[in-house]
Amino acid sequence: MTRSHCLTLIVDRAAQTLGSSLVDIAREMVKGAAPIILSEGEAVDIPCAEPGTGTASLATIRAVFNGKGVDVLLTRSRGRRKGLLIADMDSTIVAGETLDDLATHAGIGEKVIEITRLSMNGEMNFETALRARVALLKGLPVSLLEKAWADVRLNDGARTLVATMTAHNATTALISGGFTYFTARVAEMCGFTEHHANILGMAGDVFDGTVAEPIVGPGAKHDHLLRLTAERGLKAAATLCVGDGANDLPMLRVAGVGVAFHAKPVVRQEIANQLNHAGLRGLLFAQGYRLSDFRDA
């Protein structure tokens, strides 16, 4: 049997341990080879053929393991370590939605959060939703940005993900439908090669209710992926993209490996590789990195 793929099992190390009995179940479902330990009790690779006739599908395997707190990802064995990472920021690299946090400090949180929900679930056009949310900020003090920044928290593994891929010669880009005020700081904290986001309009010390054109939305994320692969001389197969919302789908669809990270239902329905339990370290395990390969920021 040609074992052209790897099935990777990952758990949230803070919540549980990946036991051998779970690994054995997965190995049997794909008729896989002996497991390769990537991080003891946290992540393993199981070399296998591409799931198909005679073995369980990835959807079936995920259905079995989701209830056990185990993430299951399937990648090709060749070229697993990617030369380009493109990451969304809000609810991916950072734990919350920075625009929602900004609106909450402004006292208009409920209105903005509902529009964000519709947009991220694909129920409202992204550009329309962004303009509508920003318009609600008109006349409010720019100083609210600093208050919102104080709420920002990196998701577990964010720095390690970027540092490790950078150490192995990957380009890393933070591309967000949010705002440069936040991406500039998050990119510096994590060590991203570059960052791109929207620019809030200001009139003196207040917001003017506008966002600069062109808007960095779903199409822009896709376009940055194409630009960076061309600049690096990479094939699409050598790219990894991660995001959680409907505006991330265009880049997730065309990446060599697109990963839905604790994503909205509309994203999970379409993107096969998902991290629903583990943190961002899982993106390294999905590339075959062992814990001993990890780098600190």
Is 208 one of the catalytic residues? no
Is 90 one of the catalytic residues? yes
Among the listed residues 12, 45, 71, 88, the single catalytic one is 88
Rounding to the nearest 10 degrees, give the CA dihedral for residues 96, 99, 105, 109: -90
Among the listed residues 45, 71, 90, 101, the single catalytic one is 90
3-state SS of the chain is: CCCCEEEEEEECCCCCCCCHHHHHHHHHHHCCCCCEEEECCCEEEEEECCCCCCCCCHHHHHHHHHCCCEEEEEEECCCCCCCEEEECCECCCECCCHHHHHHHHHCCHHHHHHHHHHHHCCCCCHHHHHHHHHHCCCCCECCHHHHHHCCCCECCCHHHHHHHHHHCCCEEEEEEEEEHHHHHHHHHHHCCCEEEEECEEEECCEEEEEECCCCCCHHHHHHHHHHHHHHHCCCHHHEEEEECCHHHHHHHHHCCEEEEECCCHHHHCCCCEEECCCCCHHHHHCCCCCHHHCCCC
Q: Which residues are catalytic?
A: 88, 90
